Structure 1
Amino acid sequence: MHEASDAVSLLSKLTRRATSWVAARRWPTRRLPLGVAAAVLLSAPLFGCDLSVNQWFAKRASACPRPQAAQGVSGQFNQQQIEIRNLRQGGFRGDFFAQLELARRYEGQRASDKNLDDPVEAATWYATALANSAGYAPIAAYEPRGKGRSASRFDDCRAYERHAAYGALDRQLSRMSTEEREQVRNRVIYILSTQGADGFRTLARMHDGYFGPYGEPSDNLQAVEAYGDRKRIGAPAALDLFRRNDVDAYLYNYLAVQTGDVSAYVMLKDFERSSPQRASYGGFVEGKAKRWIPPYEFYPADSPDSGVPHSDESDPSGEARESALARLHELPFVHVGEALSYLRIIPAPLLDERLLSLNDAQTFQASIGRPTTGRLTPIEKVRAVQYAAVNGSSKAQLVLAVMYSEGVGVPRDYARAYHWYEEAERQGSPEAKYAMSTFFSLGLQGVADQDRAKAVVYQLDGALAGFKPSVWRLQQLLAQVSRPPRAPGERPRPYEARPYAGPANAGPATATPANLERDYR
């Protein structure tokens, strides 16, 4: 009798659990007959990982199968750095599992990864993975008949991965200061902004109250669980990373439209029609979008205790970027040399790239997490100027502003140009003051603050009187980066060296400062 009572009690508990499990799968919520509940319960493992971790079989959930992280041959020199670089390439391209793996590596979950421990970077990649639609977009609905079971299991285990990511992100953020959380937020915004229209649309959803905390559908179970309830705490720190704000949601939708993406335009119109108040933000947001720049010039090249620097693996493709990099030869190398000197990579500026030693080039490449080939690529030369600019060199800031103004090395972007002219002006650069008075008084596209630019012109009329040589130097710099290639037979321009032949069968390494100086003359 006692045993029968225990059996009935057990079946009653199983019925309640099966009913809640079925409800979590969006099935009808009415109480099921005892036999059906038991049948469903016994067949549960066939459906793969459960969407709700609160059920009795949560411990049976597991991570999705995935390819082994890209890596070199076992035991290869610097293998850890190679693995991290390959994972970062996948993470910047939007690989959901690469983003999760990066987060775990930086969290130092394995003993071999303890040297990578970096809470800010771990939280950055957990948040990026949660915002990745590849983690929650259903697959089972699109599978051919007969393959639904395996697809359903993949949907379920991705859900388990996302639940675990919510918990891990919450733990990381709950231990951080306000400044560290700001770093995480800025890095996520930068990563997504490098993905063009898709990234901006994701950022718009993350700030839109009609979506989940990381842009997923509002009824996504992991998002719902993250909010918690009276009986169970959710993930408050993770929910607080990106605040809901209609203006920011509108802003990122608007930025997506500026990339020329048609679907972004449709989404923006839907956003405007969703409420009269949202539609009223149009003029304000348009002006804000013209001044918007990413939080970083490029991904912060920090080197954690591991010595493996954070490399920027944003995709350099795209017609505008490729065209800008193709024009980098128009920028005299002396500006790259001055940037490397400011960064203390070399003791003094160099006029010619041929004078840059192999070790010096490798030192700079290693400092920004690039392959140490010993020969600077065009994007690495751009990085040298950018790195010096963000570290406070007024000369590099001025050069970078000109590069953005002219589309040399970087796509033409007047908002960023204005930003770097301002940064150089704050340090007292007379050339920057002159540039602001000439460039931005003309009402260039992308510069919204025209009144301030015109005010600069009036204020500098008298101040520029003592800076005529500086004005001339700036004009020369602008001419160097914007003039067309030399015609056949045309004499070399300043800072433009003729090829040095040297002795017969000698290579570029035979060039010397004296010979180069002769070429410049």
Structure 2
Amino acid sequence: MHEASDAVSRYSALRKALTGALSGREALIRRIPVGALVAVVVIPLVGCDVGPSSWFQRRASACPRPQAAQGVSGQFNQQQQEIRALRQGGFRGDFFAQLELARRYEGQRAVDKNLEDPVEAATWYAMALANAGGYAPIAAYERRAKGDGKALSRFDDCRAFERQSAYGALDRLLSRMSTEEREKVRNRVIYVLSSQGADGYRVLARIHDAFFGPYGEPSDNLQAVEAYGSQKRAGTPAALDLFRRNDVDAYLYNYLAVQTGDVSAYVMLKDFERSSPQRASYGAFVETKAKRWIPPYEFYPPESPESGVPHSDEADQSGEAREAAQMRLADLPFVHIGEALAYLRVISAPILDEKLLPSSDVQTFQAMLGRPVTGRLSAIEKVRAVQYAAVNGSSKAQLVLAVMYSEGVGVPRDYARAYHWYEEAERQGSAEAKYAMSTFFSLGLQGVADQDRARAVVYQLDGALAGFKPSVWRLQQLLAQVSRPPRPAAERGGRPYIERDYR
């Protein structure tokens, strides 16, 4: 660490001295001996954003990492702590935490093989490429030609090299993936960015806007230009294909940013509308789409990775809707939380009363989640118990989670997610979910008017969920959000037709 600090000091001193004395790249190369540049500038600190044929770019190296992120020890507990810290940093928008996460999940080192997850690695490489902290200039050196004041070249730090490497790594990962895996990467990126509010929505808008680089950077950014490739130099086609450019999605994310109340987002939306008459014409359509849009689902792994570090609970949990939903957890009989904990083998058998839950078992579960070990379940931890049991295959927990989403208990009301978990419960063999799907949801919007059928579904669920039941009105609202009128049987092969839009 001291060596890295000394290197940073040497580099900073050199750059400060050159700022006042030199006016351009040619002057720097002409006056500084090659040996001095190799010894001081190309220490693993500097990547020069000057193009693929540059002498500097070929010899650039990675930026130094904080000691805590280097993880020299392969101990289980230390790895857990490091990954959690890195994931928290990644969700907050830390460029280097995102890069380090990607490398850990790529399993580049032997001690990280237990973390290997190509989808998660690709997600964090994409997040790093979309992060302005990787390309926003820190220091610029300008060469003025004939007094016109135009900046013809710019030196940047090692982040340019990092981004170029990230493009290559992301391309390699995506080129080996199936269409379904690429969809998972895309949805995870959307989920993480949408959890960041207006800033995240603006990034998503730029990613879909053809006026910017592939990941929202300026269109003339050299790593972006290199990613497109040329006749003499291969690009990164798989990385370019992850997000398709289109004005509708660019408009949609700008619009969603405005809905957060961010003033600068409003200015950017107006600039977007003025940039093209055709873009402005999409306004009414995008407004309608925005009312139905929801971020992709949280991404809990089907089972905890070997490291034991779950992929959840890092996103911002604040917000009035979420707090109000968690206050309603009293509506959820504790037996369902107890059954979820038993399914996860945190406790040996389900219990009916929270008072009967040993504090030691609570501490075990909190350690699984990477949360403060208090010995008492918080509201979000109760929700996590049901969610984790659901994604690990408990049809009962899936049914409970479906009702939680439809009622807004513990989680903000979300009808698309509710329908998703009804569907998953049916696939797992839940008789109640099968009844709901076949009796009510398969009817399409025509079923909304059928009060008797709706009440029958509620009655069936009530029998399975010990007093935790959705109202008829909630089921109607859920259906209206996730389905459309059924097509004729000839068009759908005689099977119930339900078209869903989760985004």
Distance 1:171 1:86 in 2: 26
Distance 1:466 1:58 in 2: 68
Identify if the C-alpha distance between structure 1 residues 71 and 38 changes in structure 2 by more than 3 Å, giving closer, same or farther: closer
The answer to whether structure 1 residue 185 and structure 2 residue 175 are counterparts is no
Distance 1:98 1:359 in 2: 33
Aligned residues: 425
Aligned to 2:447: 456
The answer to whether structure 1 residue 49 and structure 2 residue 40 are counterparts is no
1:201–1:252 Cα contact (<8 Å) kept: yes
**What is the Cα deviation at residue 165 of structure 1?**
1.0
Identify if the C-alpha distance between structure 1 residues 107 and 464 changes in structure 2 by more than 3 Å, giving closer, same or farther: closer
Look up the SS of the partner of 1:254 in the other structure: helix
Aligned to 1:122: 121
The answer to whether structure 1 residue 264 and structure 2 residue 265 are counterparts is yes
**What is the Cα deviation at residue 468 of structure 1?**
7.4
Distance 2:323 2:199 in 1: 20
Distance 1:355 1:397 in 2: 24
**What is the Cα deviation at residue 422 of structure 1?**
7.0
Look up the SS of the partner of 1:156 in the other structure: coil
Could you give the per-residue CA deviations for residues 257-309 of structure 1, whole angstroms, max 9, x where no partner exists? 22222222222232233223323333333333233232223443643344444
Aligned to 2:105: 106
Matched ranges for 1:139-218 at <5 A: 139-140=138-139, 155-218=156-219
Matched ranges for 1:246-395 at <5 A: 246-300=247-301, 302-343=303-344, 345-346=346-347, 348-358=349-359, 360-362=361-363, 364-365=365-366, 368=369, 370=371, 374-390=375-391
Aligned to 1:84: 83
Distance 2:55 2:140 in 1: 26
2:340–2:386 Cα contact (<8 Å) kept: yes
Mean alpha-carbon deviation: is it higher for 57-66 or for 103-112?
57-66
Distance 2:117 2:438 in 1: 43
**What is the Cα deviation at residue 368 of structure 1?**
4.7
1:422–1:432 Cα contact (<8 Å) kept: no
Distance 2:223 2:357 in 1: 53
1:302–1:310 Cα contact (<8 Å) kept: no
Distance 1:416 1:401 in 2: 7
**What is the Cα deviation at residue 378 of structure 1?**
1.8
Aligned to 2:57: 58
Distance 2:319 2:439 in 1: 29
Mean alpha-carbon deviation: is it higher for 104-113 or for 355-364?
355-364
Distance 1:471 1:434 in 2: 13
Distance 2:457 2:108 in 1: 58
Distance 2:341 2:439 in 1: 24
2:386–2:400 Cα contact (<8 Å) kept: yes
Aligned to 1:132: 131
Distance 2:391 2:74 in 1: 37
Distance 2:454 2:207 in 1: 47
Matched ranges for 1:406-417 at <5 A: 407-413=408-414, 416=417
Counterpart residue type for residue 47 of structure 2: C
Look up the SS of the partner of 1:57 in the other structure: helix
Distance 1:73 1:110 in 2: 10
1:192–1:200 Cα contact (<8 Å) kept: yes
Q: TM-score of the superposition, structure 1-length normalised?
A: 0.69
Identify if the C-alpha distance between structure 1 residues 429 and 273 changes in structure 2 by more than 3 Å, giving closer, same or farther: same
**What is the Cα deviation at residue 434 of structure 1?**
13
Look up the SS of the partner of 2:294 in the other structure: coil
**What is the Cα deviation at residue 62 of structure 1?**
2.2
Counterpart residue type for residue 210 of structure 1: F
1:301–1:368 Cα contact (<8 Å) kept: no
Aligned to 2:239: 238
Q: Based on CA coordinates, which of the two structures has the bigger radius of gyration?
A: 1
Residue segments in structure 2 that go unaligned for 5+ positions in a row: 1-22, 142-153, 472-503
Could you give the per-residue CA deviations for residues 213-264 of structure 1, whole angstroms, max 9, x where no partner exists? 1111111110001111000101111111111122222222222222222222
Q: TM-score of the superposition, structure 2-length normalised?
A: 0.71
**What is the Cα deviation at residue 317 of structure 1?**
3.0
Could you give the per-residue CA deviations for residues 160-195 of structure 1, whole angstroms, max 9, x where no partner exists? 111111111112222222222222222211111211
Counterpart residue type for residue 130 of structure 2: A
Aligned to 1:485: none
Mean alpha-carbon deviation: is it higher for 155-164 or for 413-422?
413-422
Matched ranges for 1:414-453 at <5 A: 416=417, 428-429=432-433, 453=445
Identify if the C-alpha distance between structure 1 residues 193 and 243 changes in structure 2 by more than 3 Å, giving closer, same or farther: same
1:211–1:218 Cα contact (<8 Å) kept: yes
Residue segments in structure 1 that go unaligned for 5+ positions in a row: 1-25, 143-151, 438-450, 481-521
Distance 1:381 1:224 in 2: 48
RMSD: 4.0
1:301–1:369 Cα contact (<8 Å) kept: no
Identify if the C-alpha distance between structure 1 residues 424 and 120 changes in structure 2 by more than 3 Å, giving closer, same or farther: closer
Distance 1:462 1:323 in 2: 31
Look up the SS of the partner of 2:62 in the other structure: coil
Counterpart residue type for residue 80 of structure 2: Q
1:271–1:278 Cα contact (<8 Å) kept: yes
Counterpart residue type for residue 244 of structure 1: R
Could you give the per-residue CA deviations for residues 36-89 of structure 1, whole angstroms, max 9, x where no partner exists? 974488597787531134323334312223432359997976111111111111
Counterpart residue type for residue 119 of structure 2: V
Look up the SS of the partner of 1:69 in the other structure: helix
1:398–1:432 Cα contact (<8 Å) kept: no
Counterpart residue type for residue 168 of structure 1: A
Distance 1:289 1:121 in 2: 27
Look up the SS of the partner of 1:86 in the other structure: helix
